[in-house]
Structure 1
């Protein structure tokens, strides 16, 4: 797996997401179409684990979180940027999703969750905000951001 092959794999997903509303209906569709026990999920998870091991994913670290944007929003990724983070029992920085966010949750520890979600997909709609939190172990999370839009904020600890 190379970054170019990873981009082709991601494009197979983003090509089916372009122009769709980022909402609960999309989350249900993603989990039905590419479930956590399915071939596409396994291919994406394997590619992410390989990229981390080879150093071309999650090649930065700060505050106990490994992260990195592998692709800016490109025509080849149908206008989505692609980030991957590795987190273990930690809450990340509060941020807003101006156009929404699509997350693929890949536990590295059995039972690890992201914002309370197990392995699979979750979708945040436009204007949503959170402190991304991995609990019960370690996970990789792939973020797809329409137009690469994300706004980091300062937020009270209760956010």
Structure 2
């Protein structure tokens, strides 16, 4: 199954995230330990780019955004679900994160930023909300959602 190229490194990473609060300290730790330029970042970015090229990742489209839930919450992923979106200079649908959200920002071209952040990680705490926005080019964004929880605004 081609998804194993992504699942294995995510299982190793989520083992380090299990039980930690989704807060500014986790954001800083992820960017210091697994940020742009790290082996973890390179591995996840290569797996995501491979998945897009092979057609099993971001295989749905709506409103100019390619997306897809890759994995439902699972024990080996420590209760996180995994979604990946492919966005270029666009805002996505507004939503809230009941339990928080961890985003891996992987610019593809230009100086793409996600919610104003460059390549690396963005941790959104429980109860936060946003219209996810990519500016300055195209980016892949991988979302880790505790228990797969996300509430789209009506």
TM range (shorter): over 0.9
- 2:149 corresponds to: 149
Matches within 5 A, 1:54-73: 54-73=54-73
Query: Which runs of structure 2 are paired with 1:5-154 in the superposition (5 Å)?
Result: 5-154=5-154
- Equivalent residues, number: 154
Task: Give a deviation string over 1:85-132, Cα, whole Å, max 9, x none.
Answer: 000000000000000000000000131000000000000000000000
Gaps of 5+ in 1: 155-159
- How far apart are the structure 2 equivalents of 1:64 and 1:152? 17
Q: Shift of the alpha carbon at 1:5?
A: 2.8
Q: CA deviation at 1:40?
A: 0.9
Query: Which structure 1 residue ranges, 4+ long, deviate > 3 Å from structure 2?
Result: none
Q: Distance in 2 between matches of 1:129 and 1:51?
A: 28
Question: As a proportion of its length, which structure holds more strand?
Answer: 2
Secondary structure in 2 matching 1:105: strand
Deviation (angstroms), 1:2: 2.0
Alpha-carbon shift at residue 76 of structure 1 (Å): 1.2
State the distance in 1 between where 2:20 and 2:9 align.
19
Q: TM-score, normalised by structure 2?
A: 0.98
Matched residue SS, 2:144: strand
